[in-house]
Amino acid sequence: MIGVFDSGHGGLTVLRALVDAAPGRGFAYLGDHAAAPYGRRSDEEIYALTVLGVERLFAQGCGLVVLACNTAAAVALRRLQQTWLKGAYPGRNVLGVLVPVVEAITRVPWMVEAPPADLLPEPRTVGVFATVPTVHSGSFPREIGKRAPDVTVVQQACPDLVPLIEEGAPDEAIRPAVHAYVDALLQQLGGRRLDSVVLGCTHYPLVAHLFAQVLPEGVEVLSQPALTARSLEHYLERHPEYAPPPGPEPAAPVFFTTGDARRVSELAGRFFGHPTPFRTIAD
Ligand code: DGL
């Protein structure tokens, strides 16, 4: 089984893409609803919560965990891979949602062997919309800069979006916030052309249509769920030890939360497109 971890249920947008790419693969999803939103937490808290979440998924029998939360991936992934994982859990691995999108932007493969053909050639200016900790971590500019130093990256934190999306606010209530964040990002460019944007938070694909309405025409919007799914399948082809090949029959994912399972099941269905019978995970 492959584990998928998020601070809440936004990561279901990623899980949905993973299931669509390999319906016969078993997935266990954990949302840390009791501690969400991570966007308002310190780096130390995000690190400790992410390690705990990964351990909980390992305890369910997952050999590989995907951090489907940009905030966890940006703040905690490198540190846990370098300082904790190999000593504590040799033979298991943790991947994040940042790398697939960085590969798509830079066209420099890491886990993906060949850059997706449907992307615009050589984006020179990339905008990243994300939570406050993700922006502060500098992970997107750092990882893009390592592979493609000539790509300009501008970032915009969008602190109001997750709470609005979580509470199920209508488009009319969310559009002004999206407008303000897009304007603020464009201002940073001072009139220079914007080639691509990353919706660098699991919740933002749910309001991708609002970003598309407000962004200048022709700006490419990179979809993290689809890129993550493609990247994971490539990774598993090269590392089959982390998961058996998908079976012929669709396998239903299992859903865990650290929060109120009934409330989460009700809210989360719209992120996934199917019923999501969450169970509360015990310590
Ligand atoms: N899932 C987080 C992310 O992708 C956003 C939600 C939160 O703030 O907890 O950045």
Q: What is the pLDDT of residues 160-201, one digit of tens each?
A: 999 898 878 999 999 999 999 999 999 999 999 999 999 999
Q: What pLDDT does residue 62 have? A: 95
| pLDDT above 60 for 117 | no
Q: Which two tokens stand for residue 160?
A: 């109001």
Q: What pLDDT does residue 112 have? A: 47
Ligand 1: residue of 4, 7, 198 to mutate (most ligand atoms within 8 A of CB) is 7
Fold of 100-222: Rossmann fold (3.40.50)
For residue 8, the CA-to-ligand 1 centroid distance in Å is: 7
**Start-to-end CA span in the chain (Å):** 20
* Per-residue pLDDT tens over the stretch 68-79: 999 999 999 999
Which atom of ligand 1 is the closest one to the Cα of 6? 1
Candidates 3.40.50.1860, 3.30.1020.10, 3.90.1150.10, 3.40.50.1000; CATH matching 2-97+225-280: 3.40.50.1860
Mean pLDDT of 138-159: 92
* Protein residue with its CA nearest to atom 6 in ligand 1: 37
* Per-residue pLDDT tens over the stretch 263-279: 899 888 877 778 899 99
Q: What pLDDT does residue 113 have? A: 47
Mean pLDDT of 135-152: 90
**SS3 track for the chain:** CEEEEECCCCCHHHHHHHHHHCCCCCEEEEECCCCCCHHHCCHHHHHHHHHHHHHHHHHCCCCEEEECCHHHHHHHHHHHHHHHHHHHCCCCEEEECHHHHHHHHHCCCCCCCCCCCCCCCCCCEEEEEECHHHHHHCHHHHHHHHHCCCCEEEEEECCCHHHHHHCCCCHHHHHHHHHHHHHHHHHHHCCCCCCEEEECCCCHHHHHHHHHHHCCCCCEEECHHHHHHHHHHHHHHHCHHHCCCCCCCCCCCEEEECCCHHHHHHHHHHHHCCCCCEEECCC
Q: 100-222: same fold as 2-97+225-280?
A: yes
Ligand 1: residue of 201, 223, 224, 258 to mutate (most ligand atoms within 8 A of CB) is 201
Residues with CB under 6 A from ligand 1: 6-8, 10, 36-39, 69-71, 131, 134, 162, 201-203
Q: Considering the candidates 51, 201, 229, 268, report the single residue annotated as catalytic.
A: 201
* Per-residue pLDDT tens over the stretch 211-226: 999 999 999 999 899 9
* Per-residue pLDDT tens over the stretch 40-98: 999 999 999 999 999 999 999 999 999 999 999 999 999 999 999 999 999 999 999 99
Q: Considering the candidates 15, 69, 94, 268, report the single residue annotated as catalytic.
A: 69
* Protein residue with its CA nearest to atom 8 in ligand 1: 39
* Per-residue pLDDT tens over the stretch 234-259: 899 989 998 877 888 888 999 999 99
Q: What pLDDT does residue 208 have? A: 93
Q: What pLDDT does residue 46 have? A: 98
Share of the chain above pLDDT 70, in %: 94
Ligand 1: residue of 12, 14, 38 to mutate (most ligand atoms within 8 A of CB) is 38
* Protein residue with its CA nearest to atom 1 in ligand 1: 69
Active site residue 201: yes
> Structural domain boundaries of the chain?
2-97+225-280, 100-222
Share of the chain above pLDDT 90, in %: 73
As a whole number of angstroms, the distance between CA 160 and CA 178 comes to 9
